A and B are shown apart, each in its own frame.
Chain A
Amino acid sequence: MSETALEVRNAAFRWPKVREDQFSGVSFRLRTGEICAVLGPNGTGKTTFLRCLMGLLPWREGETLLFGEPLKKKSDREIWRRIAYVPQARSQQIAYTVEQMILLGRSAHLGPFAQPRGADIRLARETMALLGIGHLKDRLCTRISGGELQMVLIARALCAQPAIMILDEPESNLDYKNQQTILKTLNRLAKESAISIIFNTHYPEHALRLADQTILIHDRRATVGKSADLLNDANLSRLFAIPIAVRELEVEKKKRSVVIPLGDD
């Protein structure tokens, strides 16, 4: 039986000066090594949801529990040694090399006067090798592709040696090949390293393929369930406000789910 890594109990969030909750009644539980997708159309507050989850924004009611203990009662450093956040890979302003960037993942483990030492550097290089980006070591983050940058940010998060990794649209703005690389990497991290993963996406197929459970965010509500149960024609059509069909296809002797938007028909 695997342990509960992250739990949200009956949480609601509301922006200041707004009368309605952005979402309410959110409850779910994520075990170690489990993957959870947060799915919703643009502008429904998926990023806001993640920020609430991590305590960057306060829940109006309810709470997040980290390994059974309320997040609020933990110090910043305790939290960020266990949770790692991978922001959207926007183009970078600062010309750090890939290795310098990845080393920043050690920040929660090192005091304000410390600098990364041999062991930290070794960990960074091992992480790079694990993700297959060792050749990028001395390249500048301002000069690498979007897919490469996303891998660098994942490596930076891994360097914190977290139990939980939270990613904001890790595969958006990437081409097919890079998307597959990211999805494969996430799957491997969950299965082999027992890291719990939560990621935002607007691709139902990615949720179906990767996630054990999915949180649908729509109409100021959050619905939680097993991905296979939740992601059906009716729910997806309602979520994205266009008719959508989910079908199973057998390709190369493997069953695969495909999601087909039926916009014009």
Chain B
Amino acid sequence: MSVMPEEIKKSGIRRFGRSVFLILLPLLLAIVCWGFGRLHVSVAAIFRFLNDGIRAGQWDQRLFSVLINLRLPRIILALACGAALSVSGATFQSVFANPLASPDTLAVAAGAGFGAALALYNRQNMIGVQLSAMGFGFIAVCLTYVVSRIKGRVTTIMIVLSGMVVAALFQAGISLIMTLAESEAMLPAITFWLMGSLASARFNTLLYGMPLIIIGMTLIFAMRWRLNVMALSDDEARTLGVNVQRMRLVFSLAATMMIAAAVSMAGQIGWVGLLIPHICRMCFGSDHRDVIPASISFGGSFLLLIDSFARTASAAEIPLSIITAILGAPLFIFLLHSSKGDGL
């Protein structure tokens, strides 16, 4: 039986349409959210501003400082962090064959948060903060994995339990640093950063953080078909010709890299890495060739919307983790019930 060209063509068109949608969604949302804020700028005004600026070289000074200097880096940061967190969530869910794996449940976020807080406390620069976040994040995920291994087997429940234990350990470390920081008037800064905020986004923050996210994401995106086989049991993956331990290491490193960068720029933002991959699977199925691009698009869009709400809803900024938890908890319960516990 040969494959009907007609059928391939049809699925090709569908795929193309989906790609266009996934690319346009965050871009369109970004343009709309760009105008939100204390100074509201309509989409038409944004286009006029850009048109005048690029064509005639006449940049409106007031709009330039608000739109380009303040809001643009923040929008880019929201898109990047959202995408990084959900892609790393999808990656961890596959390499640990565990639908509940995420930066939060595997304690990577807590580890990276501890590393970043430690470096901040020691007044390190942005590079130091990121390296420290990455180092401790990776120690955390390794600890979680080692603790959960019983007789060479890793069960879903053990991963989640040991993730809780390791996360508690690193949270205690963060609390300790905060106690020490109190006397040095650094507490508000660390607290606010920990609860998640994109408020400090400037172009030079991006300059330091984006490379790690881009490297990690490119790697995972390029190897995304491998995630399919990684989600099977270890014996199955191995007998299909995959070096399971090495791939798990590579994927975990890439994911941790992205989380470390996201945490050092934006603090601990919970739920995104757990929630978005599940939503993507519900929309497009479990094939990681579809889940990873969808996670990038949906994750970025999700965090962009949340952050736009966080900075416009009230006079004071609302920490992102509070909103993601309020939205995430009920949404996740709904997802679990509607997928009837089907897992990945």
**Stretch of B36-44, B106-114, B281-289 contacting A (4+ beta carbons < 8 Å):** B281-289
Chain A residues near B233: list those with CB within 8 A. Answer: 87
Contact assessment for B281 and A95 in the assembled complex, using a CB-CB cutoff below 8 Å: yes
Q: Does B20 contact A (CB under 8 A)?
A: no
Q: Does A125 contact B (CB under 8 A)?
A: yes
**Stretch of B187-195, B219-227, B257-265, B304-312 contacting A (4+ beta carbons < 8 Å):** B219-227
Chain B residues near A79: list those with CB within 8 A. Answer: 241
Within 8 A of B (CB), among A89-128: 93-97, 100, 104-105, 107-110, 112-116, 118, 121-122, 125-126
Q: Does B343 contact A (CB under 8 A)?
A: yes
Contact assessment for B235 and A87 in the assembled complex, using a CB-CB cutoff below 8 Å: yes
Of the candidates A95, A122, A129, the one having the most CB atoms from chain B within 10 angstroms of its own CB is A95
Chain A residues near B1: list those with CB within 8 A. Answer: 125-126, 129, 134
Q: Does B3 contact A (CB under 8 A)?
A: yes
Q: Does B179 contact A (CB under 8 A)?
A: no
Contact assessment for A76 and B243 in the assembled complex, using a CB-CB cutoff below 8 Å: yes
Contact assessment for A95 and B344 in the assembled complex, using a CB-CB cutoff below 8 Å: yes
Contact assessment for B3 and A107 in the assembled complex, using a CB-CB cutoff below 8 Å: no
- Which listed residue, A76, A93, A113, A156, touches B343 by the CB 8 Å rule? A93
* Complex interface bits, A74-94 against B, C-beta within 8 A gives 1, otherwise 0: 001101110111010000011
Q: Does A232 contact B (CB under 8 A)?
A: no
Contact assessment for B239 and A80 in the assembled complex, using a CB-CB cutoff below 8 Å: yes
- Which listed residue, B231, B235, B285, B289, touches A56 by the CB 8 Å rule? B235
Chain A residues near B229: list those with CB within 8 A. Answer: 104, 107
* Complex interface bits, A34-67 against B, C-beta within 8 A gives 1, otherwise 0: 0000000000000000010010100000000000
Contact assessment for B3 and A121 in the assembled complex, using a CB-CB cutoff below 8 Å: yes
Contact assessment for A122 and B3 in the assembled complex, using a CB-CB cutoff below 8 Å: yes
A105 vs B287: C-alpha distance when bound (angstroms):
14
Known: A80-B241, A125-B3. A116 touches B225 (CB 8 A): yes
Q: Does B48 contact A (CB under 8 A)?
A: no
Contact assessment for B241 and A108 in the assembled complex, using a CB-CB cutoff below 8 Å: yes
Contact assessment for A107 and B241 in the assembled complex, using a CB-CB cutoff below 8 Å: yes
A85 vs B236: C-alpha distance when bound (angstroms):
8
Contact assessment for B286 and A96 in the assembled complex, using a CB-CB cutoff below 8 Å: yes
Contact assessment for B241 and A160 in the assembled complex, using a CB-CB cutoff below 8 Å: yes
Q: Does B279 contact A (CB under 8 A)?
A: no
Contact assessment for A112 and B344 in the assembled complex, using a CB-CB cutoff below 8 Å: no
Q: Which 9 pairs from chain A and chain B are nearest by CB?
A: A108-B241, A80-B241, A85-B239, A93-B343, A129-B1, A94-B344, A107-B240, A115-B225, A95-B286
